[in-house]
Structure 1
């Protein structure tokens, strides 16, 4: 091995969950090493939208003002139904490419005192008496290994199944969904469009496409769908879903015709609904998208990744402060996730089932335009101040019809 390191906590993965955990731990005086397989700044396939839960999580970390100073602030979201009609929802929103967001989070973790090491690719875990006690990494282009020993490990490596398998916590290798996106610049359209746009086109249901205006006249344009939905899009793979979205949605068609493309269209898998992996084992907690922290139905994951990272850090701190033991900190973390987040994730799964059908999308959009009840329910879902089950149920739809 070419070098060895030791820490109280080793955080693997420097996305939102890993950085939130490393930052929280370092601020509490816990010796923390944060590693990632990529040099920063690095790109990450994502929609880049920061909805209220992400902004609240950034505020808890003390980073909301910094992020909003470089993001594009937005005050509305437009949701287009399969029949072409749309609903406009109000809310505090923003958009910032993950290239910049993740680097800001990483920088804040380092400023808090975490040691950042990259690029290091996870090779294997070190185990003792049934508990994980560290990990070995390979440096790209170097046959030697770097070993990092730690009392606790946090795994925040995103949707890839390989790290979960190496840790012995993978319960499902297949992803929950898949998405592609590209960047395009148009100063003209940037002046015209000031809302996050989501399109549930009939040809791509239960998937959807999006156009999110970011800073500097750059738009994030993408599409995706979920494998867990009761039906799949009429078109084939996810790139065909993207092509169909661009062809059929006038705003997307205009944008790609007029705008300057910036780089290639890229795709990535999604893990949703807090499913697909055990969330803890002796010596290890799993956070972020590795834990399935992306929502079904909406595909939003940044806010919940940040929340799970902070929650994992709080339980790690509980271990070091003596409030939790080596045998109780994992179950306590799992219970906290179940109590704090699982009910909402289950409700979003239900919403995904309903919105897999174009007729249901059209009905909800029509009722939102004609009455305050449904629009208020959708705005509460966007702000996370309401229960998705209030609307997406037979009782909720009957109430929507009556309202």
Structure 2
């Protein structure tokens, strides 16, 4: 077995909580909600009118004009996140051997806004009724991987991971596998841009979205008032490196991807389903085991936090199956501040875990205020100064995907 170790050296956050890891961390510590009315289009006719949007995103700062017109907002967010990640890692990608650099990002719905615009042109009788040539690639679920690989000349094996909300963690796991197989640098993580008319209509079909108008009540995982979630855009791109490569150039090691696992419920999701306790627990426990640790070694846990009563209860049951009746020692979630970013959300949890290690702080949870019956866990209510050596992140994707990643501080 390869002894090459995968470490995170750069974290590029572009999320409703802010652009850049410092902005995100400030939002997390302050408990500032970024959920509000959708402004990217008129959502007045929809049951769900709230979401988490990336604030003051200026695409021209990150994407040249010729590429802006060829790509979707989802890809624009990833361009920005990758630039921020390389900046934090203090790594110029042009100095990396091209065939030793890969891109492995997660994706769910692809280029929604680009596709919406082009198809509306096709439908409208008072237009040319044509679709632009870039429609053939801009909407494609692998477009962002391809665009970043081209921009940064990453000629190593590249991949797109498709497992909805679990994808951000699957991406980190695959990045670690690529490092073991010989890659020196991998761009990992994922962004999402699910806020458009057709995209929102598709999401509403799941029956999982909050349909009220109060931002303060829009996303309350594990709370007795939980009534679904609201979508959000953005996410994180990480620079993942081989440890020896990072040390040789004097890089700051932020965290090691020490353990990971993925399972499948093998049962189609429905409006009455709530996920498999056994399969989710198996993913969580296996990630800890593969890191060479025991559940008692885990300092901090980030749950999936769907915000649906049934899913919240099964998540608590899965955590108790791994950690015992008391559950994990410390639990925190910030998803109620941003909305559910799908693959971008699990990547954002991993970014928050890295920052907790950086700052020696456990950030306060953004809920629940009143835990529902069966959802009592050791939620961290106030910012806690303590060394965070290990963090377990769990995530689930629609239709039975379960993933977990164990991050460990480098020593």
Q: TM-score, normalised on structure 2? A: 0.27
Give the structure with the larger strand fraction: 1
Q: TM-score, normalised on structure 1? A: 0.27
Could you say which structure has the greater relative contact order, defined with CA pairs below 8 angstroms and 6 or more residues apart? 2
Q: Which has the larger radius of gyration?
A: 1
